[in-house]
Structure 1
Amino acid sequence: MGTTSSGRAADARDRDSEGRARNARPRDGLGRPLPYGADGVARQPEGVVRTPDETVAEAQALLDAGRPFHAHEVFEDAWKSGPEAERALWRGLAQLAVGLTHAARGNVTGGARLLRRGAGAVEEWAASEPGRRHPYGMDVAGLVAWARELARAVEREAGALDAAERAPRLRGTP
């Protein structure tokens, strides 16, 4: 087994306390791995159970800060820990955040595809039952319109965009 320039075993894998593989490399604000030892952005803790309102507020703060990858992790926690009836909503919101992440990284195809997939998932969830247009104060129709317009813009502009500048307002305009 060789070693890397950081002194780590080349084929060793980072593991959590249960032995599951976890990448401990630092990451930048868009979630891209940085070299071991580099200064990165603090990672979102995994498996945090939040109320829906806490989820929306924390995700919005991360989106506003230009950190959609980290917002995706907050939505993913809600998707995995929330009630079954809401999992499609949180999964769709996570896809929107990942779409914005890819668009900010300059990945035109992946960004546009995930923005559209997330918009479709959120829209389908909202249409499945009456009264789902404004879950936890979020404007589903507004988010869907934002995502579809951003997908078109990503394809038109064909370059990396500023994630903070293009972040959605989960609960409409402030």
Structure 2
Amino acid sequence: MNQTPRDRDAEGRARSSRPRDGLGRPLPYGDTGVPRQPEGVVRTPQETLAEAQRLLDAGMPFHAHEVLEDAWKSGPEEERGLWRGLAQLAVGLTHAVRGNAAGGLALLDRGTASIAPYGARSTAPYGIDVDGLARWADRLAAELRRGTAAVSAADQAPRLCSG
């Protein structure tokens, strides 16, 4: 059996070095892709939200998910559900735009459930609009269930913070 060796990162973990498009889909080796987000970047919550919103507004929800995932993995334990949920919402939008309605619905549901406990507080952390994000996810999920129109990443981008 002749197998091609897998790409590895500096720590030896399997990691594809194939270029990716703006939605994180792999492109053939040699194609020009969109630069990937560096992994493991520790940002302040405000920096995370600003960068994730910039990427969402640019129609790059997969890349926004990577930024939010860094916050999920590096943030305090009591906030991990919030950041995980935000990352899941971004990847839910990614699946929706790619035409994977079932994947989009599953991630939107999980993301909404993960952020829900943070909406019950008198003030949402960091100005995150938990209730607005839940409404956005419900609207997008309804569109996916109807299956009537293509989803545009930039046009469907949620607002992470109120104001």
- Quick one: which amino acid aligns to residue 99 of structure 2? G
Partner of 1:156: 146
How is 1:27-106 mapped onto 2 (pairs within 5 angstroms)? 27-106=20-99
What is the deviation of 1:159? 5.1
Listed as ranges, the gaps of 5+ residues in structure 1 are 3-9
- Quick one: which amino acid aligns to residue 5 of structure 2? A
Q: Tell me the TM-score normalised to structure 2 length.
A: 0.94
What is the deviation of 1:158? 4.8
- Quick one: which amino acid aligns to residue 145 of structure 1? R
What is the deviation of 1:113? 1.6
Bigger Cα displacement from structure 2, 149-158 vs 50-59: 149-158
Query: How large is the Cα RMSD of the aligned pairs?
Result: 1.5
* Contact kept? 1:60, 1:71, Cα under 8 Å: yes
Distance 2:12 2:19 in 1: 20
1:139 paired with 2:97, answer no
What is the deviation of 1:160? 3.5
Distance 2:22 2:126 in 1: 27
Distance 1:112 1:17 in 2: 35
Q: Name the larger-Rg structure.
A: 1
How is 1:113-128 mapped onto 2 (pairs within 5 angstroms)? 113-127=106-120
* Contact kept? 1:63, 1:163, Cα under 8 Å: yes
Partner of 1:6: none
What is the deviation of 1:149? 1.2
How many residue pairs get aligned? The number is: 163
- Quick one: which amino acid aligns to residue 96 of structure 2? A
Distance 1:160 1:27 in 2: 21
Q: Deviations over 1:78-130 (max 9, x none)?
A: 00000000000000000000000000001111111211211111113433xx3
- Quick one: which amino acid aligns to residue 136 of structure 1? Y
* Contact kept? 1:112, 1:152, Cα under 8 Å: no
Structure 1 stretches (4+) deviating beyond 3 angstroms?
none
Partner of 2:18: 25
Distance 1:126 1:142 in 2: 10
Listed as ranges, the gaps of 5+ residues in structure 2 are none
Structure 1 vs Structure 2: percent identity of aligned residues? Answer: 66
Distance 1:136 1:57 in 2: 11
Distance 2:86 2:150 in 1: 21
Partner of 1:7: none
- Quick one: which amino acid aligns to residue 124 of structure 1? P
